[in-house]
Amino acid sequence: LRTVKFNFKLSLIILLFSITPGWSQVPNPMNSEDIKEAVGLLGPGSSTLRGRASAIISGGLLNRKFGYAKNELVYLYPMTKYMNNWNQEHKRDYVIGMFFISPEMHDLTARVITDDDGYFKFRGLKAGKYFLITKVNYKATLSEKNDTGRSNLSLNYFSGVISSTPIYSYKTVSQQLDHHIYKIVEIGENHHQELGEIR
Amino acid sequence: MKKNHSSITEFIDRFIRRHKIFNIAFYFLCLSLQVAAQGNQGLKLSCERDTSRCWYIVATTGVAPDRIIVFADFNVTQVNPGVVQINTLIAHENTKNKDFYTTALEFDKKKKLYRSVGAYVVFGDGKIQLEAGSKWDSVPSGWLERVALAANEPNVRSNPGKHGMAAFAGVFRPIDVVDLARAFLWKPVQKDLNQGSK
């Protein structure tokens, strides 16, 4: 059982920010040269890229439990000048950085879907650098701490209150969580690249 | 009826963008209205940007394991008055010879002519062969007629279901469309065939 302190306020803020359509106004715009460069890099090539998207979902060093991306999209963004600048700007926090990628750049990607075991394969890639993004969705069991509103009172001999401690109730809840994978990969000409398991 | 639905959708889209609404309840209300408005039109892909790709299945032929699907990108571009350009993809289930063929086609609606402005074939062994454009020619019956219909008629693109066409994927690279077709349209039959041979 994995115990994570559930922070309701933080969850609500993240939820609000992740679905608000206002974010679509923020990204850095792409100019026609950037678009031309990305389209060129997505042209037909002869290299392949294989891998398996995974995440450590529980356990220590000896009893680790892995989760695999089941039918998840894997994106490859060609590392154009635009993407290189974006990477320099947001390499400390790609999750936030994703909101600053222009919608055109999201269109100009290679995309495949993982199979049931998390394996994916890109065909027909051109040699070059790419930014890989995917996620592993897994179920986590959380322990939620609730204040019952009642307290344990310690009384002295004259029934005076010395101390009171609140009584909590613990509820086990299951939640679907996402582990995001961000990785820069470099592919050679006519090369069959094996990434192995990526986390 | 169709015009009303699309105008509601556009209005909501514009409203959300202009006002940068941060109200979660309103957002969900808008979202549900959009879904309801689009419900009668069938599943549609968004082709709002030049970089968007909207691959629709326009024709199919053959029987397993030699099936062929013709996809057309409904993000049609106007080359000059009367002439439109559409990306077309022909995916082969059996890769013994060709894997897929993709071409950019131009159609002249008035003269009922078409030409290819560039194409490439990917063979089963991974070899790529580039093809030069072709001269203007009359549109033959068959899959090219279906592609011409999609390219020339905005009504067909806005109501693909009525004309036996279906949305498939919004991915940019044709090769990813082919792989998606193999994974989701053709895979079950291939599995059955494998089980049968065992």
Q: Does the pLDDT value for residue B54 go beyond 80?
A: yes
Structure tokens given for B80: 């000059």
| A21, A112, A113 member nearest B27 (Cβ) | A21
The 10s digit of each residue's pLDDT in B107-131 is 999 999 999 999 999 999 989 999 9
Task: Confirm if A51 and A120 have CB atoms less than 8 A apart.
Answer: yes
Note whether A44 contacts B120, CB cutoff 8 Å. yes
Amino acid at the residue B74:
F
pLDDT at A65: 83
pLDDT at A158: 78
| pLDDT mean over B83-100 | 95
Task: Confirm if A198 and A50 have CB atoms less than 8 A apart.
Answer: no
pLDDT at B43: 67
Note whether A24 contacts B53, CB cutoff 8 Å. no
Distance CA B101, CA B95 (A): 12
pLDDT at A110: 96
Read off the DSSP letter of residue A159.
Answer: S
| A15, A108, A115 member nearest B172 (Cβ) | A108
| B22, B27, B176 member nearest A111 (Cβ) | B176
Distance CA A27, CA B167 (A): 28
pLDDT at B165: 93
Quote ipTM for the complex. Answer: 0.75
Higher pLDDT, A119 or B11: A119
**In this structure, what is the dihedral angle of CA atoms B118, B93, B70, B97, given to the nearest 10 degrees?**
30
Q: Which stretch, A7-11, A185-189, B186-190, has highest mean pLDDT?
A: A185-189
Q: Is the pTM of this model over 0.90?
A: no
B52 — contact with chain A (CB < 8 Å)? Answer: yes
B24 — contact with chain A (CB < 8 Å)? Answer: yes
pLDDT at A38: 96
Q: Residue B198's pLDDT band (boundaries 50, 70, 90)?
A: very low
Q: Does the pLDDT value for residue B15 go beyond 70?
A: no
Of A190, A42, A161, nearest in space to A111 by CA: A42
For chain A, the 3-state helix, strand and coil shares in percent, each to the nearest 5, are: 25, 50, 30
- Over chain B, what is the mean pLDDT? 82
**In this structure, what is the dihedral angle of CA atoms B57, B60, B63, B65, given to the nearest 10 degrees?**
-50
B21 — contact with chain A (CB < 8 Å)? Answer: yes
The 10s digit of each residue's pLDDT in A23-81 is 444 677 888 999 999 999 999 999 999 999 999 887 777 777 888 999 999 999 999 99
pLDDT at A56: 87
Question: Which of A159-163, B69-73, B142-146 has the weakest average pLDDT?
Answer: A159-163
pLDDT at B1: 40
The 10s digit of each residue's pLDDT in A156-182 is 887 777 788 888 988 888 888 899 999
Of A119, A82, A146, A26, nearest in space to B183 by CA: A119
Distance CA B47, CA B150 (A): 14
Residue A190 φ/ψ region, left for φ over 0, alpha for ψ in the -120 to 50 degree band, beta for the rest: left
Higher pLDDT, A61 or A14: A61
